[in-house]
Structure 1
């Protein structure tokens, strides 16, 4: 196992997670006013609604699938009667459907931000960089489906599960050893995924961490029609 592989997949994940946590806390403490999405709905709403809905539904389901699929031990799947090969087919179908939905929405959002002069003028370099990084990450995820179709035994999926679970249990060496054997498409997908944690505190992605729970208990807002 090479030193580079250990660095990228056994050490780098902890660096990104440390930056993610520490920088997010600092930003929330010192710059709460910037902790927002910076919505451009007032500048254009039709394409935003169409793209945002598709993107958010797709990305939420994809992330949920990754979370459950990677962090649930293989033994649990065996108990419920799902073998590795079957789980891989489920993951390919689930990821393909919601990945394409996410791709459709994100394409609209990127085109809108880059081609609408007013929205482009209010966009920071980080806004555009994050959108493009998400786009590349999503394309890699979709391409990985074709790689998975070439071997339906679930072997590489088990190695990716081992990587994720060893990262969670703080065994970076075992994690790096597991992922060393998978296709480069998966490796690049994992690397960019971890890099998103790195840029998270410095972008508008921070709004993900702000769930408006208070809306569930606050009084209804009274809106009167014009007389």
Structure 2
């Protein structure tokens, strides 16, 4: 095995499983042992400023990007092939992903500037708070940088390879590393940094994302039946209480 092949195997064949293991196991351990740290640590009381614009733009954009990547990467081509081609899928992904990526990047830039430019916010910020913001900012920049490269080949071939790699990883199939042999460094850097975000996820404020998914359980849970308690009160007792204003 050549050096390049060994590095690719390490980064795109082994590293993904390390990141996913730490992501799931680390999140479970933190929830089990440190539930008081399971929060987003809002800084709204210290300074509102650009928080609303930055927070809304970032969250709307990044939520769209997350589900877009999740569906786009893990949906087999056979499921959507009868309806549209891989090239059409790539153009849609470039357009909608570019809009959402710009929204998230602008919002995150506002949030990062707000946290670094204010003395009180910077003093109360953890190192992990700044680190995760910088990592996400770089990840968004790399993601947007892939759009001009993808525009050079609109047949969807590269997107198919990336999706096939992701599906092979989650289904524990071999052969995914070879698919990325001719991928550009921007694509590889984007994928590596994305996996690294999953690696550091349990050790940052990002764990509150799990709580967001957890709230969906409230929509599906059955209604709680509450029955009135029967009290042995003399007749007219409640009416006398109402007249006294109790």
The TM-score, its normalising length taken from structure 1, stands at 0.91
SS, match of residue 36 in structure 1:
coil
Question: In the aligned structure 2, how far is the partner of 1:103 from the partner of 1:18?
Answer: 28
Structure 1 residue runs of 5 or longer lacking an equivalent are 219-227
Deviations 1:155-206 (A, max 9, x none): 11110011000011112x3111112221111111000000011100000000
Which residue matches 1:206?
Answer: 207
Which is bigger in relative contact order (C-alpha 8 A, separation at least 6)?
1
RMSD: 1.5
Q: Rg bigger for which structure?
A: 2
Deviations 1:79-99 (A, max 9, x none): 22x111111100100111110
The TM-score, its normalising length taken from structure 2, stands at 0.84
Question: In the aligned structure 2, how far is the partner of 1:164 from the partner of 1:180?
Answer: 14
Structure 2 residue runs of 5 or longer lacking an equivalent are 225-246
Aligned positions of 1:64-213 closer than 5 A: 64-80=67-83, 82-171=84-173, 173-211=174-212, 213=215
Which residue matches 2:18?
Answer: 15
Aligned positions of 1:18-97 closer than 5 A: 18-80=21-83, 82-97=84-99
Structure 1 runs of 4+ aligned residues shifted over 4 Å read 214-218
Deviations 1:90-126 (A, max 9, x none): 0100111110011110010000000011111110111
Deviations 1:47-102 (A, max 9, x none): 1111000000000001111111111111122122x111111100100111110011
Question: In the aligned structure 1, how far is the partner of 2:176 from the partner of 2:111?
Answer: 35
Which residue matches 1:225?
Answer: none
Question: In the aligned structure 2, how far is the partner of 1:43 from the partner of 1:104?
Answer: 22
